[in-house]
Chain A
Amino acid sequence: MATATKSSTDEFMKGLWKENPVFVQVLGMCPVLAVSNTALNALAMGLATLFVLVMSNIVVSSLRSFIPKEVRIATYILIIATFVTVVDYAIQAISLDLYKALGAFISLIVVNCLILGRAEAFASKNTVARSALDGLGMGTGFVVALFCLGAVREIMGSGSLFGVQLFHDAFQDWVVMVLPSGGFFTLAGWLLLFNWLKQRKAHREDRATLALSKEVV
């Protein structure tokens, strides 16, 4: 198995950059777009998802030899739903304002394809420690991506970051960025940037191999 040879750092880092759940795999889009209208909401949502992801990865991985293959998806969903209920009540206890701002989207972490995807693709086949690391890496990648979106939308849409006003009063807010359509546009913008970076890298590698082959000839 290829993953068995990977070091622990690689396991963690792949979620951050190379297999970033949002920018590369485009998974778990619903909460990404819905609650990223301010940086704070985005961060809270990201952390809640991170917790559920790590916990469900650990439990799924430690139970992996007991779960019958036929009902595995249903079992995973029940495990995930349990942790989401925990998070739901925890956020309600910590900050009622935040709970109201995030609304039903905390409950909707259950159907985040990212979490089920990791349970099915990784935690069901790997050891507990490795699955926890994988969850931590993917979750952190998710938090970073959500924060990138939330920050851009808040700065452009309300001229502030974490509620702190950044610009002079004369700054005209781009209201569209806080509205639903702004979420689509911002994510499209980030994806464009990532595509462009990827393409530039591919071009460079092409040129390098071309130069190399010329030298050899």
Chain B
Amino acid sequence: MPEESLWTIFINASLVNNFVLAYFLGICPFLGVSAKLETASRMGGAVTFVMLVSSICAFGIQALLVAIDAPYLKLISFIAVIASTVQLVEMFIKKMSPALFRALGIFLPLITTNCAILGLALFQTNKGYSFVQCIVYALGAGAGFTLALVLMAGLREKLELAEVPDVTKGTAMALMLAGLLSVTFMGFGGLGG
């Protein structure tokens, strides 16, 4: 649907079809790094940035693959590009801002295996978005991912003070929270039209 407005794409990617809570992409970092609010927001920022860069690269690759008629190479080239983008971003940040590099720490390399990023690249080619639409889509998805991560981290920080039965501690509790968040996000359905 290339004639979607940019605003619709953004709202759809961030709220209505939230990557984490509706598409189940990027669940691993969602459960792994959502214990503290601070790390959660940093992770969100890093993921959004990588999403933006890899979305632009994926757009170029798709055009190239169509030109040389080799669609079966899509997956391999996407993942290779994402891995090298992450590597590049890592080196760039290290050079430009050592403080930020230290703050992000091990999260950067982990982004390679974040399914939200590969998912984004695949979805945008399936939907046949134009260049500008791709950028907005990536920004929306990143914003949605950050929002979900930050909300989750806030809830988990509060819950640490609560007394819960022993069996529900850890992942089970996190999953139940995620389920409730997901129900809440269903309320956005129909917003983007």
Contact = CB atoms under 8 A, between A and B. Distances in A.
Interface of A: 26-27, 29-31, 33-34, 73-74, 77-78, 81-82, 84-85, 88-89, 104, 107-108, 110-113, 116, 176, 179-185, 187-188, 191-192, 195-196, 199
Contacts, number: 114
User: 4 closest Cβ contacts across the A-B interface?
Assistant: A184-B179, A188-B175, A181-B182, A34-B24
A207 B170 CA distance: 25
A113 B175 contact: no
A180 B166 contact: no
B179 A104 contact: no
Contacts of A180: 21-24, 182, 186
B57 interface: no
A73 B112 contact: yes
Contact of B115 (A27, A108, A182): A108
B176 A74 contact: no
B171 A104 contact: no
A179 B76 contact: no
Contact of A176 (B84, B126, B183): B183
20 contacts: A29-B27, A29-B31, A30-B26, A77-B79, A78-B79, A81-B75, A107-B75, A107-B122, A108-B118, A108-B119, A110-B75, A110-B118, A111-B118, A179-B186, A180-B24, A180-B186, A181-B180, A184-B178, A185-B175, A195-B168
Contact of B122 (A108, A195, A196): A108
A29 B21 CA distance: 12
B1 interface: no
Interface in B1-41: 21-28, 31
Nearest to B174: A188
B52 to A, nearest CB: 18
Contacts of A107: 75, 118, 122
Contacts of A184: 175-176, 178-179, 182
Contact of A74 (B80, B115, B126): B80
Contacts of A30: 24-28, 115
A97 B169 CA distance: 40
Given A111-B118, A192-B172, 11 more contacts: A30-B25, A34-B23, A34-B24, A73-B83, A104-B122, A107-B122, A108-B25, A111-B114, A180-B22, A191-B171, A192-B168
Contacts of A192: 167-168, 172
Interface in B94-113: 112-113
A187 B119 contact: no
A89 B72 CA distance: 9
A72 to B, nearest CB: 12
B112 A104 contact: no
B70 to A, nearest CB: 11
B4 to A, nearest CB: 19
A104 B74 CA distance: 12
A67 B183 CA distance: 46
A27 B72 CA distance: 28
Given A73-B112, A184-B179, A26 B80 contact: no
A36 B94 CA distance: 41
A188 B179 contact: yes
B92 interface: no
B144 to A, nearest CB: 13
Contacts of B186: 179-181
A110 B112 contact: no
Contacts of B179: 181-185, 188
